[in-house]
Amino acid sequence: MGEFKVHRVRFFNYVPSGIRCVAYNNQSNRLAVSRTDGTVEIYNLSANYFQEKFFPGHESRATEALCWAQGQRLFSAGLNGEIIEYDLQALNIKYAMDAFGGPIWSMAASPSGSQLLVGCEDGSVKLFQIIPDKIQFERNFDRQKSRILSLSWHPSGTHIAAGSIDYISVFDVKSGSATHKMLVDRQYMGVSKRKCIIWGVAFLSDGTVISVDSAGKVQFWDSATGTLVKNHLIANADVQSIAVSDQEDSFVVGTAEGTVFHFQLVSVTSNSSEKQWVRTKPFQHHTHDVRTVAHSPTALISGGTDTHLVIRPLMEKVEVKNYDAALRKITFPHRRLISCSKKRQLLLFQFSHHLDLWRLGSTVATGKHGDTLPLSKDADHLLHLKTKGPENIICSCISPCGSWIAYSTASRFFLYRLNYEHDNISLQRVSKMPAFLRSALQILFSEDSTKLFVASNQGSLHIIQLLEGNFKHLHTFQPQSGTVESMCLLAVSPDGNWLAASGTSAGVHVYSVKRLKLHCTVPAYNFPVTALAIAPSTNNLVIAHSDQQIFEFSIPDKQYTEWSRTIQKQGFHHLWLQRDTPITHISFHPKRPMHILVHDAYMFCIIDKSLPLPNDKTLLYNPLPPTNESDVIRRRTAHAFKISKIYKPLLFMDLLDERTLVAVERPLGDIIAQLPPPIKKKKFGT
Residues 281-295: tens digit of each pLDDT: 899 999 999 999 999
- Secondary structure of residue 484 in the 3-state scheme: coil
Q: How many CB atoms lie within 10 A of CB 434?
A: 11
Average pLDDT over residues 179-189: 79
Average pLDDT over residues 78-88: 94
User: pLDDT-derived band of residue 317, with 50, 70 and 90 as boundaries?
Assistant: low
User: pLDDT-derived band of residue 492, with 50, 70 and 90 as boundaries?
Assistant: very high
Share of the chain above pLDDT 90, in %: 71
pLDDT of residue 291: 95
Q: How many Cα atoms sit within 13 Å of 286 on the Cβ side?
A: 33
Residue 506 has pLDDT above 60, yes or no: no
pLDDT of residue 320: 58
Q: Which of 255-269, 365-379, 528-542 has the lowest mean pLDDT?
A: 365-379
Instruction: Classify strands 395-398 and 660-665 as parallel, antiparallel or unpaired.
Output: unpaired
Average pLDDT over residues 625-653: 73
Instruction: Classify strands 187-188 and 73-78 as parallel, antiparallel or unpaired.
Output: unpaired
Dihedral (CA of 41, 44, 49, 51) sign? negative
Q: What are phi and psi of 324, to 5 degrees?
A: -75, -10
pLDDT of residue 367: 73
pLDDT of residue 324: 52
Residue 202 has pLDDT above 50, yes or no: yes
Mean pLDDT, rounded, of the chain = 89
Closest by Cα among 432, 352, 361, 359 to 398: 359
pLDDT of residue 587: 95
Average pLDDT over residues 207-219: 95
CB 405 within 8 Å of CB 441: no
Give the C-alpha separation, 404 to 243, whole Å: 48
Average pLDDT over residues 578-590: 93
pLDDT of residue 2: 59
Instruction: Classify strands 424-429 and 442-445 as parallel, antiparallel or unpaired.
Output: unpaired
CB 300 within 8 Å of CB 293: yes
pLDDT of residue 484: 65
- E strands of 99-204, at which residues? 104-109, 115-120, 125-131, 134-140, 150-153, 159-163, 167-172, 178-183, 187-188, 191-192, 198-203
pLDDT of residue 38: 92
Q: 497 Cβ partners below 8 Å, 6+ apart?
A: 512, 513, 514, 539
Sheet containing strand 550-554, edge to edge, reads 529-534, 540-545, 550-554, 559-560
pLDDT of residue 686: 41
Left (φ > 0), alpha (ψ -120 to 50) or beta: where does 681 sit? beta
User: pLDDT-derived band of residue 626, with 50, 70 and 90 as boundaries?
Assistant: very low
User: pLDDT-derived band of residue 458, with 50, 70 and 90 as boundaries?
Assistant: confident
Output Rg (C-alpha) for the chain, integer angstroms: 27
- E strands of 442-497, at which residues? 442-445, 451-455, 461-467, 470-477, 487-492
CB 480 within 8 Å of CB 520: no
Give the C-alpha separation, 53 to 86, whole Å: 11
Q: How many Cα atoms sit within 13 Å of 342 on the Cβ side?
A: 17
Give the C-alpha separation, 396 to 408, whole Å: 7
Give the C-alpha separation, 580 to 601, whole Å: 10
Instruction: Classify strands 19-25 and 30-35 as parallel, antiparallel or unpaired.
Output: antiparallel
How does DSSP assign 577-643, residue by residue? HT--S---EEEE-SS-TTEEEEE-SS-EEEEETTSPPP-TTS-SSPPPPPTTS-HHHHHHH--SEEE
Residues in a beta bridge with 597: 587, 606
Q: Which of 5-9, 82-86, 271-275, 530-534 has the lowest mean pLDDT?
A: 271-275
- Secondary structure of residue 463 in the 3-state scheme: strand
Closest by Cα among 197, 210, 203 to 105: 197
Angle, vertex CA 215, rays to CA 301 and CA 251, nearest 5: 30
Give the C-alpha separation, 7 to 28, whole Å: 42
